[in-house]
Chain A
Amino acid sequence: MDEITQLLEKRRAGDSAAEAKLVELVYPRLRRLAASFIRRERPGHTLQATALVHEAYLRILPENDRTLVNRSHFFALAARIMRQVLVDHARGKRAKKRNSGLQMVTLEEEHAIEPARPVDLIDLDSALQRLSEFDVRKTQIVEMRYFGGLSNEEIAELLNISDRTVKREWSLARAWLAGQLHAPNPSSEK
């Protein structure tokens, strides 16, 4: 049996070392995959995480091991890793900006006009980190939906809860995160 499949099974059985090992194995592949996606993509197109995760599934998991159970678990795992990949990338971009200007002057802090802001992945990541401290399941749901592109049905099946619960928990998590991200000072949480 393929190493990844074995590890997936161990992880399902609650082996946290297996999880770490899986991340270590899949992270570089997913990252490279994302990079190659970008190189292939024509400018003006955006790439959906969903497509990437599906492709990763096909490329990483051997055909014989692609059972329904493995599929869900793999997707959950991939969603987590996608979160890492994307956040790391956002950090890299930020570092790039910083380095290229050597961060010795930041004119923008005083003078830039604030445009409508897209989701700041780094802030989102730390908000998710805080959320996971008191509600792991909601964190997972956000990961799967936002980073892994899984549907409510898929998430429900995976977490063994009802579609409705997924929908409700998603709404709450999203509202909480929106409050965190748009708050003037994101660390003002009590």
Chain B
Amino acid sequence: MTADRWARINALFEHVYEMQEPDAEAWLAGQCEDDPTIVDEVRKLLTDHRGAGAFLETVAAPFSLHEVAPPREPAAVTSERFEIRDFLGKGGFGDVYSAFDRQRNVLVAVKHFRQQTASSTALIRFKEEFRRVAKRSADLNHRNLVRLYELVQEGTNWFLTMELLSGTDLTGALDQPVGAERPRIFLELTDGLEALHSAGILHRDIKPSNIWVTDEGVVKLLDFGIAKELEEFQRGASSLGTPDFVAPEQIAGQTTSPASDWYSVGVILYQIFARRLPFEGNTAAVLAAKQERDPPAPSAFVKTVPEDMEALCMGLLRRDPERRFGAKEIREAFTKRLAKPRVASTPPGSRDVSRDDDALIGRAAELVEMHSALYRTSKGQPCCLHVIGESGMGKSAVIQQFLVMALAEDSDTVVLRGRCYETEVVAYKAFDELLDDLARFLQNSTPEARDAMMPRHAGALARVFPVFQPAKSPHVRSGDTGARQAVGDPVAARREAFRSLRELLGRVADRHRLILFIDDLQWGDSDSLALFREILSGPGAPPLLMILAYRSEEADRTPLLRDIAREEQAWNVPVTRVELKALTPEDSEALARQIVASPEKRGKNAIARVAAESAGNPFLIREFASFVSESPDAATSELTLQAVLERQLRTMDLPVARALEVIAVAGGPLDEKIVYAAANFGADLLAARSAVLSTRLARAAAAAKAWFGTAYDTAINLAINPAFRTSFNLDLYHGRVRSALIEHLSAERKREIHRAIAQALEESGAADYERMLAHFRGAGDRERAAQYARRAGDRAGTLLAFEHAARMYRQALEIASEGTSTDAAELWTLLAGALANAGRGAEAAQAYFSAADSGREDRLWLQMRGAEQLLISGHNAEGLARLRDVLPRLGVPCPKSRWWIELSIWWNRRRARQRMRHPVGRTRSGVEFERQMDACWSAAMSLALADPRRSAEFCARHLFWAMDSDDPYRMSMALAAEAVHCLADKNASTDADLLLAEARRMALTAPGQESEAFVACMNAIAASLRGRWRESLSFARRVAPSRESRPSSSSPKPDAPAAKHHEPHAAGWERDGAVIFSLIAQTMLGEWQAAAQALAEVTREARDRGNRYRLVNFHLLTAAFVTRLAGDEPKKAVEEAREWIAMWDSSSPDSPSFDLQRYFAAVWEAEAALYEGRTADAWTIHDTAWKRLRSSDLMRLQILRIGAAFLRGKCAVAAAALDQANSSRATLERENTPLATALAAALRACIASTQGDPDKTEAALANAESLLTQAEMIPWVAATQYRRSGVVSDWMQAQHIANPVKLADFLLPGTWPRASASRKQ
């Protein structure tokens, strides 16, 4: 179009565009006779002008998110729990709304229906049935099935809640041009349906409107399982399905099977291709036709139907269900469509491009799976993608392609990468590079965005991950309280740092699509596990995609991978596993053909040979193919990697070959300057670089490590300004190249190269101790290697990477044992500290003992520490033996027999009370005495749960000594601990309150807040021991958070032999006690959900520290069991209890062969038997345990006596042994505490019910209900209410009790007339 022509058109248009059509036509007729095409064009413009309608009149709406608002209808229903929002549609039996669930604080979809005719008993039955089926459906946590949550009743209103979905159903999708996604739709539909079938559920109503496609493109099946049954229940009839989609056998009333559902899928497919239904007409005719004949082939209606799709349709629509196609055929057909290889041509001579490009050959199905994982993260939860394959299978290349696609699809994607290296020894190896990337990303963000993303405690983050240190990257806001972590519990600091990292990632993920990619995880370190756990687990985990790539052959060998496999399920993250297998021979040839230059000339033979020799391994295919195309005599030479590489090395310049060897020996990327120095290159950096890179065996890897100080700044600068690229790291292209190169080096030559690297590193002034350690060691220089190991360990300790620190010290010791001048004793102590902090109590103990053995003067104290570590890690027998050995030598007597223990308790208590009544002030002091007291206190604390009586003995002795020392700090703690021990002892329980009051008073005068917190803990425990649950909980809550910051509680005034940061965090007995007793209190108060949550939190921490003692006690002594019963999972509860007790080591040489933990393990077995209705078993199990309990001194614990008597009574009632039950009741009444009396009343009601006296039963229940209410035993109150009225109480509903009937039978056994259940209605 020329400007002139356009101007003429404009002029004409201007004249006529507002005229009526005839007038305009008349005027135009006489215009532009020289060029009639102009007038034609104006005519066309006029037509378009008139016909344009609203074209472009509405201003562009950015991104039509949900163009059509769902039709709004005033919500005809109101609810207490749900805030009903939008009407979404009409379901088969009720309306569907989006709603806000006030209880769970989430948006859900609710199906609402009104209870109509069904009787209430039928409804209760239905609810039970619902729970059964809902459980089955709820287990179906499949991404292609809609999640069903809960059935909620409010009066006559019933709500079924489920996952709220965006998107539309397939009816819409079928009409819209989104066909490219259709293979995926069918593949996902197949996945979902198959998952349903394997859960034993048939859908029975597959049709387009029951298949949902979310905005993210995820397919979800609707209306299955309980949703369907609910509908049928409401209708009072079973449903047939939709005539058009139903299978012939369904109509005929024959047995339906998964094949019936696949038939319906066939109808949908048919509809797409034939653009009509297989049978049309009125319902009767369609149903009849289905039985009688096969449908016409889709190509009868639409000529262009692809053959494979036609075959699939017809196969799915076979009348004989036995012969009908199913999931397998659908998958085959569509995967084949997805994987049709593209015809790609490789740009000549550019091997790098082709590397990426042909990564796709034979990998299409895997890429689809990877994309599915990515879409899951858009649902707001993290997702873990494992990409597994043997070395050389092209994992990195396929992921690279995937990332490129992800970026192309949404440019707002942030990809952070990292890689682990085999010989690298940095801390948090798996995350090291990735965090460099993260720091770079932050650096490149705008200051506002960066501030918004930084976590609250950026300082804590920087302490553990130096990349984030403010001096190096100025983005940490000033005024942050980072310094506050400088002292304090290192484990807590590490946790804080991890939390901050999670927070940071969460904030990045809120703003961008976030993908984390860690390559070669088989070389990852165990320290990193805790980071994975922190990032991926628990509610509110950042919605990111975590890609983990590793070699399949190493998966079972690497501790980190084994740990991840074991824990992953508990993190509750969806996991996708993509395994890259060997390429098929056809794909191998296709790939070889892409790489071999002018394959025609080389001949078919060469291609076939490359394909055959490489056994489907893409890396080898590439290497061999380029070799074949570059070497003239390739046809005759040997095709192994070794041979191919050796030939290449032979043709290289010496320094270049040596540089490659240096990189190989370095075991990971190495600063190029070091490489050139070690390889004796000349001064010309650029020449060296281009020579090395041109071999195409080495590549420039990610920039320098954070440890390199200045190198980090370089990394930042590199990212910002490419012109600043002065130096980068070099690595080999592939691990296989590395191993082949190393294999070809002689031992002598390897040593030489190690020395060259080590010296180059030392000269460069880099602080990479780990590397220098490795290379000096490799070079045989033990002295210097040990020196650097020690330094690396010290640094790891300050960075709180304790596993790593321990590894470094171990290495130092190992080298030292080969004969160096290093001080082994000190190294052992350092190692012990690191191990203790890493939560490896048993190993820490051994290290302490080794340190003691190497003759240090604080030998005894080191042994004490070792014993303490053994005890707090649950190694009771050995720990006790050690204690008994070392304590006397520290001047603390250690009674030999039980009898002596009791006598000593009595005597010391007497002495101590004497002193309290007649204070004499300070009578003893001195370092020696302090030590004695510390040891005594440490023994008391670490034995608290393993051997309570012995602990009481040490406690009483310590109290007496504390009185002598007249130190309020020590005295307040001693008094409080003494009070608890006294409460446990029926002969001394009377003055507990007095002791506690005195302890509180003294704690106020003691410096610091530690003693106050300790005393509060003891108060909480004391309240629990007396059944005052609320009081206990309120005391416990006062303590919990502040405890962590104190280094050690087992020695009130720690005099650490090791460096400050290695101070092990010992028992923290009082804190553990507070946790245990507050969990018990919560259980009694019926706060089961909250208790389960709290338990999960402390479990996580105990796992972080590897603390077996806590894990076992928290679970066995507290709420874990009942919360399992709330979920109706007695089997699981017992399994777990057995697991915990198996962890517990209690075979003590003297007496307590039967301890608290063993008793509780038996209790849970008995309770589970009771729950499951195995009454005889319950009685036998508990009776055996009870007899042992009676003969142990645990019977001094009143709370335990009460619990045991009640359980014994329950078992007796359940087994109908009424005399036995009555005797237990009498025992309870004799205990005469509010708790015991209430439980006795409950037992009386149970007995009465079994005797079959309704009036007496009702009276007893009423009495029990009021007494239990006073005793704050909420679950039992609920059970009595259920017994009396048959109504599931609010408490049961609020705590999501899965099976109220069973739970009531368990809490209050007896012979309860079922008829009484509906008495009240």
A residues apposed to B, CB below 8 Å? 34-35, 37-38, 41, 43-50, 52, 82, 85-86, 88-89, 92, 95-115, 118-119, 121, 133-135, 142, 145-147, 149, 168, 171-172, 174-179, 182, 189-190
Contacts and interface: CB of A to CB of B under 8 A. Distances in A.
Given A34-B63, A175-B48, A100 B217 contact: yes
Contacts of A101: 180-184, 338
Given A86-B60, A134-B2, A107 B272 contact: yes
A48 B183 contact: no
B179 A119 contact: no
B46 interface: yes
Interface centre among A38, A85, A92 (most CB of B within 10 A): A92
Contacts of A44: 66, 68-70, 86
Interface centre among A45, A82, A111, A114 (most CB of B within 10 A): A111
Majority secondary structure of chain A interface residues (helix, strand, loop or mixed): helix
17 contacts: A45-B69, A47-B61, A82-B60, A86-B63, A89-B63, A101-B338, A104-B338, A105-B337, A105-B338, A110-B304, A113-B275, A133-B1, A172-B45, A175-B13, A177-B55, A177-B56, A178-B55
B405 A99 contact: yes
Given A92-B411, A134-B1, A178-B48, A115 B62 contact: no
B62 A179 contact: no
A115 B172 CA distance: 11
Q: Which 8 A-B pairs have the closest CB atoms?
A: A108-B179, A44-B69, A101-B180, A175-B49, A107-B179, A149-B59, A43-B66, A175-B48
B10 interface: yes
Contacts of B375: 100
A47 B2 CA distance: 38
B62 A168 contact: no
Contacts of B927: none
A107 B51 CA distance: 32
Given A46-B65, A176-B45, 17 more contacts: A38-B63, A43-B69, A45-B66, A82-B60, A86-B60, A92-B409, A97-B180, A100-B180, A104-B340, A105-B340, A108-B180, A119-B56, A145-B56, A146-B59, A175-B13, A178-B49, A178-B56
Nearest to B10: A172
Contacts of B408: 95, 99
Contacts of A86: 60, 62-63
Interface centre among B14, B17, B63 (most CB of A within 10 A): B63
Contacts of B3: 134
Contacts of B322: none
B409 A146 contact: no
B907 interface: no
Given A38-B62, A175-B52, A95 B409 contact: yes
A95 B410 CA distance: 9
Contacts of B371: 99-100
B928 interface: no
B44 interface: yes
Nearest to B410: A92
B712 interface: no
B52 A174 contact: yes
Given A35-B412, A175-B46, A106 B61 contact: no
Interface residues of B, number: 63
Interface string B80-103: 000000100000000000000000
B186 to A, nearest CB: 10
Contact of A108 (B13, B177, B364, B367): B177
Contacts, number: 177
B61 A48 contact: yes
A59 to B, nearest CB: 11
B62 A52 contact: yes
Interface in B355-374: 364, 367-368, 371
Interface in B1170-1225: none
A108 B179 CA distance: 4
A168 B184 contact: no
A174 B56 contact: yes
A103 B180 contact: yes
B56 A142 contact: yes
A49 B14 contact: no
Interface string B359-393: 00000100110010001000000000000000000
Given A85-B62, A92-B409, A175-B45, A106 B179 contact: yes
Given A105-B340, A115-B176, A171 B62 contact: no
A118 to B, nearest CB: 7
Nearest to B405: A99
Given A112-B177, A178-B55, A99 B1 contact: no
A43 B62 contact: no
Given A146-B60, A147-B60, A176-B45, A38 B65 contact: yes
B6 interface: yes
Contacts of B56: 119, 142, 145-146, 174, 177-178
A162 to B, nearest CB: 13
B627 interface: no
Contact of B175 (A96, A113, A175): A113
Contacts of A172: 10, 13-14, 17, 45, 49
Nearest to A142: B56
A84 to B, nearest CB: 12
A123 B539 CA distance: 44
Given A43-B65, A107-B182, A179 B177 contact: no
Interface in B447-486: none
Contacts of B409: 92, 95-96, 99-100
Nearest to B45: A175
Interface string B243-254: 000000000000
B67 interface: yes
A104 B342 CA distance: 8
Interface string B1-42: 111001000100110010000000000000000000000000
Contacts of A176: 45, 48
Contacts of A108: 177-180, 182
Interface in B588-609: none
B582 interface: no
A118 B57 CA distance: 12
A92 B181 CA distance: 16
Contacts of B410: 92, 96
A107 B177 CA distance: 9
A182 B56 CA distance: 13
Contact of A104 (B59, B67, B364): B364
A25 to B, nearest CB: 11
Interface centre among A43, A103, A177 (most CB of B within 10 A): A43
Contact of B60 (A49, A103, A111, A135): A49
A100 to B, nearest CB: 6
Contacts of B62: 34, 37-38, 47, 49, 52, 82, 85-86, 89
B302 interface: yes
Contacts of A99: 371, 405, 408-409
B273 interface: yes
A183 to B, nearest CB: 10
B64 interface: yes
A168 B62 CA distance: 26
B739 interface: no
Nearest to A41: B65
B657 interface: no
A47 B217 CA distance: 22
A43 B166 contact: yes
Contacts of B693: none
Contacts of A175: 13, 17, 45-46, 48-49, 52
Contacts of A115: 175-177
Interface string B1228-1267: 0000000000000000000000000000000000000000
Nearest to A124: B56
A3 to B, nearest CB: 14
B339 interface: yes
A134 B51 CA distance: 24
